[in-house]
Structure 1
Amino acid sequence: MGKLANDRPPASLELPATADGKWPTHAVPGLTVRKAMEIPAMTGARLLAGEKGLGRVVQRANIMEVPDILPWVKPHELLLTTGYPLRNTPQGLPELVTELDARGLAALGVKLHRYLDALPDEMVAEADRLGMPLLLLPDAVGFDDILNQVLTGVLNRQAAVLERSWEVHHALLSVVLEGGGLTELATKTSAVLGVAVFVTTADGRVLAEGGNADDLGAWRHTPSFDTSGRFRTEYEPGGVHQHADVPGCHAVVPIVAGRVDHGRIVAFARHRALDDADVNVLERAATVAALAVNKQLAVTAVEGKYRGDFLRDVLAGRAGDRARVVAHCESLGWDVDRPVVVVVAELDPETGPAQVTGLQLRPVQERFSVAWHSVVTRRDSAAAVVGFTQEVVALVPVPDGQEVDAVVHELVRQVAGDGGGGRRSFSSGVSRLVDDPERLPVAYEQARRAVDVGRQMNGSGSVAHFDSLGSFRLLSQIEDRQELRGFVRETLHGLAAEDDPEMEDLRHTLKVLLDTNLNVAEAARQLHFHYNTLRYRITKLERILGPFTTDPELRLDLALALKVLQMRGLS
């Protein structure tokens, strides 16, 4: 990608070059003060103060004819005066410079020797402190010549900027019209601006990038991105930004179509400042990106339904024999003839008020599906990922030598990110490893069971493997919750009270005793109790529960009751 950013693109998509044949970086929507001093009418003008402000932009010019000029001053204005309105109050000139600078004046040009013989030293010092250029104009030049030539230069420059803006827009639009997508658009935008460019979803997941590969990697490790690679959209509003802990500067522009927030386009620059002209290019690119996103959504909607219907048939065992399943999956770009686990991910019930913004977001299930698809296929492009109405199903390959839990937890970490950007909590279930496509229906049921039981065991955001569920698999299949609650009360008696701290403490003691197979010495060590203290507690527990130390059937019932209490969603 670094080479594409420097090479000339194909002729059909060629961007308009500047007069010197170089790629454009940014355009100035007016004349700088330095350039304005080079026009013929300003020949002989001398800079008295404010050298550091010579880069200020001049977009208009005016003449100071009245003392109360301040209400009429506009930003980026070159103000000319003979000093006539101020001839009787020269002591007020330093304060005038301060007020003019506060109103965004570009520069002040003064003619002397007619009404003012000299400018006060305090005025010159104040202009120098503020960086507002203070110009001494030649006596022979007419203000009308300066006005005419400055305004002509400004209009010519602005016309050129508008023309180049249209040319850039046309070049970017051609990317999509000729079959390119977000990656090609990001690369082209990077070539225009000469900086790294990212295209992200509304919550900051990177969809495409353009620019030098080393630069792109370096920016991903700045605080603007979280550890999962998500751009922190919640901290980055639109416009140009500079952060103390992020090198250079960056500009952010939302990608919006039909009041729907589709994402962000972000430009990072290390060695130059980004300005309004760069933002204008990004806005053009964002408009084209919205077109590309809508185009991709239309294609995905059709392809997604077809892929989803077929995978649903595979997981239901209705897709045909093994050979047909493998062949059809290959036609869809999926490789299922290898060791995989089925991962089922479901959004957790939403808690708390929903975020209120001025824009609509794409449906949450659709965004959730896109997130899983981008993360899984970035790791393995031949992996099958499909979003259903209430869940996302992924057939995740597990290469030899890798642990299933490590692979799945890394995928979950990347999808979840740091939880910012409006991301919703979700729970995931993982099947056993299967190496035969004909066993995918069984693996799918295992993953579905794991996500349900995992959420009951551990609450929202759980990741549960089917093999880790143990007896919870059986308990979760009991649909009569009232029967489970009755079993807990009848077995644990007073220990079933969940709002009693003393009973909760005794339940914990009971669990440790059962987990250590009634090894009193080991249980006392884990509980940090004296041996005799634990013996006293055992006596107390047997008065409440019965002789569990000598009755194995009672111990089994107590262990099951404690597991039922551990399950969520019984109340």
Structure 2
Amino acid sequence: MVKVANDPSRTEGDLPAVGRSGEPEPEVSGISLRLIAGLAATAHGSVRAGSSRLDVTVDGTAPLRTALRDAVAGAHLGHRLVLADAASLAESGESGAPSEDGGSRMAGVVALLHSAEAAGLVVSGLDDAATAELVAAAEPVALPVIEIPLDRIAAFTTEVLSAILDHQTATLRRLEDADRALVQIVLAGGSLDDLCEQVVGFLDGAAMVTTTDGRVIARAGSARELAHAEGLDCFDRTGRLLTEAEPTGPRPDGPNANRAAVRIVAGHLDHGLLIAFCSQRRLTTDDVRLLERAATVAALAITKDSAVSAVESKYRAEFLRDALAGRAGTPVDAVAHARSLGWDIDRPLVVVVAETDEDDDRSTRDGEEVRFLQQRFARAWTHAVAVRDAASPVMGFSREVVALIGVPEGSDTDQVMRIVGEYVRVVRGDGGGGRRSFSAGVSRPIGSVAGLPQAYDEALSAVTVGRQMHGDGALTHVDGLGIYRLLALIPDGTDLRRFVHESLRELATDDSPEYAGLRQTLGILIDTNMNVAETARLLFFHYNTLRYRIGKLEKILGPFTTDPDLRLTLALALKIHQMRGI
């Protein structure tokens, strides 16, 4: 056997680097086995088996003894090409190579190499019988076997290693060129869209940058490639990339091999994904490594933009706080100041307040993570609003996001809720991606900046009371609060709870399974203005059954059927009982 890559300092052959998962992973990929088969042809060799698997990649070589020892130990040969001669094959029985069923040594060698996923086997110096035996064992498992004349094996091996080295050198040079080009974009003040354009220049196809929850914030590529990418099942109906189901790094051959994603990480913060698509070919390991270089540069650009944005946001937030508190000066001054910030508030607007449903004061998350999640929530709203109405102010505060959404003149409540509901739908997406549930409150439309303080109070009431009425994820207009809005003005929930228990008595609890049914009956009776027939119809009760339940309710609560003041008290108690978080 030719002792290629088997000198004393490297007895294990070509040792690949170790990847993040602990599995062997080469620094750069190698050359196609089909190219090696071409080199074999020039050396008067031939492919004797496994011609259907010549598109695998080879990034190194290993002698047979080392390969068998690794295979027996459960190691993964990865993309290595195994070199063997007649002597090493004859000695293979001592390496544990014979097949389990007691068959030939050749079958045992092939079985071990195949199980370890070797790229192929190069043999030389075998007689016709041994070659035929080896080919017969390799064909069923499609293990590529290349036979080289003994007098040509040294030159062939040198050519293979030279080709691998040339390819890896060219790949490293390509990565260095990409590094320089990408870094230059950031140094020149380029955007993430410019970075995506550069990635497309290297890889063709399309490229996108998304946030951690999948919102696309930058993209580049031809219209055809972008349309192809956006039509894939990795995007939901709102256009959000399903990051929770999208693996990162190199991908095996298959229907998803024409796209690849890498994480954009700066320090310990995950800023999202850089993902490339190519409709014409699969993306290789080299392409993924180029994406990883680009993701590093993207992290630099995002960090720089975040620092600039933080300064700008400070002044924007201060102005918006003043406007919501009525301290922004005259309406003319406020409109002019807003226009200098790129906002148009001289039009009909509604104030929308969005709050995450998780109580951050009682969260097990540390303070830095809470701040990061709140910033991500604010960015989601900023992006959703900017795409649809760039002149609408939107800012994230410590506990809420406030947006001033433009609405048509004379809009009614239903029209306003359809407009705001579309923003909420986009921010919420189809869930997943680490998104947190949130509720939102909407004010009445205002026609002047002077109405902002009142509209802000209305939106705050709507989001707080709406969550109490409907639970997490509520979207509530202030006009839909009704009596709940007055009840929410009572600061002490203890007083409300005491009122409920004093009014409903044992019906305020769920100590008995029938109490919930009795509360429902009472509520419908009050809603129908004590119309017994209509209540029986709504509850699908017989008239006499309902009369029996009314008698039972009056024994517990008193003569509410004849006492209007008691009915009002019970109606209020039922409303409070439905509120959450009091």
Q: Sort the Cα spacing of 1:546 and 1:41 in 2 relative to 1 into closer, same or farther, 3 A.
A: closer
Q: Sort the Cα spacing of 1:222 and 1:81 in 2 relative to 1 into closer, same or farther, 3 A.
A: closer
**1:422: how far off?**
1.8
Aligned residue for 2:437?
425
Structure 1, 479-488 or 162-171: larger mean CA deviation? 479-488
Aligned residue for 1:201?
211
Quick one: distance in 1 between partners of 2:41 and 2:508?
A: 94
- Residue type of the partner of 1:311? L
Report if aligned partners of 1:345, 1:451 keep a CA contact under 8 Å in 2. Answer: yes
Matched, 1:52 2:56: no
Deviations 1:189-214 (A, max 9, x none): 12321122221112222221222335
Report if aligned partners of 1:518, 1:549 keep a CA contact under 8 Å in 2. Answer: yes
**1:220: how far off?**
3.5
Deviations 1:193-239 (A, max 9, x none): 11222211122222212223354345344432233332222222322
Aligned residue for 1:527?
539
Report if aligned partners of 1:350, 1:424 keep a CA contact under 8 Å in 2. Answer: no
Report if aligned partners of 2:37, 2:146 keep a CA contact under 8 Å in 1. Answer: no
Quick one: distance in 1 between partners of 2:348 and 2:272?
A: 35
Query: Where in structure 1 are there 5+ consecutive unaligned residues?
Result: 1-26
- Residue type of the partner of 2:186? V
- Residue type of the partner of 2:350? V
- Tell me which of 152, 163, 166 is aligned to 1:153: 163
Quick one: distance in 2 between partners of 1:79 and 1:541?
A: 87
**1:270: how far off?**
3.3
Report if aligned partners of 2:228, 2:279 keep a CA contact under 8 Å in 1. Answer: no
Q: Does the residue aligned with 1:394 lie in a helix, a strand or coil?
A: strand
Aligned residue for 2:504?
492
Quick one: distance in 2 between partners of 1:475 and 1:320?
A: 33
Aligned residue for 1:83?
86
Matched, 1:333 2:342: yes
Deviations 1:161-194 (A, max 9, x none): 1001110121122222222111221232123211
* 1:541-556 correspondence runs (5 A): 541-556=553-568
Query: Where in structure 2 are there 5+ consecutive unaligned residues?
Result: 1-26, 72-76, 94-102
- Residue type of the partner of 1:491? S
Deviations 1:23-65 (A, max 9, x none): xxxx98323222224448943111111112222333334555x
Aligned residue for 2:145?
134
Aligned residue for 2:43?
43
Matched, 1:456 2:435: no
Quick one: distance in 2 between partners of 1:116 and 1:122?
A: 10
Aligned residue for 1:107?
120
**1:279: how far off?**
0.6
* 1:478-517 correspondence runs (5 A): 478-517=490-529
Q: Cα RMSD over matched residues?
A: 2.8
Q: Does the residue aligned with 1:199 lie in a helix, a strand or coil?
A: strand
Matched, 1:170 2:183: no
Quick one: distance in 2 between partners of 1:81 and 1:429?
A: 74
Aligned residue for 1:367?
376
TM-score normalised by structure 1 residue count = 0.87
Deviations 1:60-109 (A, max 9, x none): 34555x6x751268543333433123348793112212222333433322
Q: Does the residue aligned with 2:128 lie in a helix, a strand or coil?
A: coil
Quick one: distance in 2 between partners of 1:320 and 1:339?
A: 19
Aligned residue for 1:116?
127
- Residue type of the partner of 2:128? D
Aligned residue for 2:68?
70
TM-score normalised by structure 2 residue count = 0.85
Aligned residue for 2:199?
189
Report if aligned partners of 1:259, 1:360 keep a CA contact under 8 Å in 2. Answer: no
Aligned residue for 1:14?
none
* 1:388-467 correspondence runs (5 A): 388-399=397-408, 403-467=415-479
Quick one: distance in 2 between partners of 1:58 and 1:525?
A: 77
Quick one: distance in 2 between partners of 1:430 and 1:228?
A: 22
Report if aligned partners of 1:248, 1:269 keep a CA contact under 8 Å in 2. Answer: no
Deviations 1:392-423 (A, max 9, x none): 10001123678111122222222122331221
- Residue type of the partner of 1:566? Q
**1:326: how far off?**
0.9
Q: Does the residue aligned with 2:250 lie in a helix, a strand or coil?
A: strand
**1:551: how far off?**
2.3
Report if aligned partners of 1:434, 1:440 keep a CA contact under 8 Å in 2. Answer: yes
Q: Does the residue aligned with 2:476 lie in a helix, a strand or coil?
A: strand
Structure 1, 425-434 or 115-124: larger mean CA deviation? 115-124
- Residue type of the partner of 1:476? A
Report if aligned partners of 1:340, 1:396 keep a CA contact under 8 Å in 2. Answer: yes
Of Structure 1 and Structure 2, the greater helix share is in: 2
* 1:371-390 correspondence runs (5 A): 371-390=380-399
Structure 1, 518-527 or 283-292: larger mean CA deviation? 518-527
Q: Sort the Cα spacing of 1:242 and 1:51 in 2 relative to 1 into closer, same or farther, 3 A.
A: closer
Deviations 1:119-154 (A, max 9, x none): 35453134233333212223542x332232222222
* 1:299-310 correspondence runs (5 A): 299-310=308-319
Q: Sort the Cα spacing of 1:69 and 1:185 in 2 relative to 1 into closer, same or farther, 3 A.
A: closer
- Residue type of the partner of 1:29? S
- Residue type of the partner of 1:458? H
Aligned residue for 1:32?
32
Quick one: distance in 1 between partners of 2:303 and 2:353?
A: 27
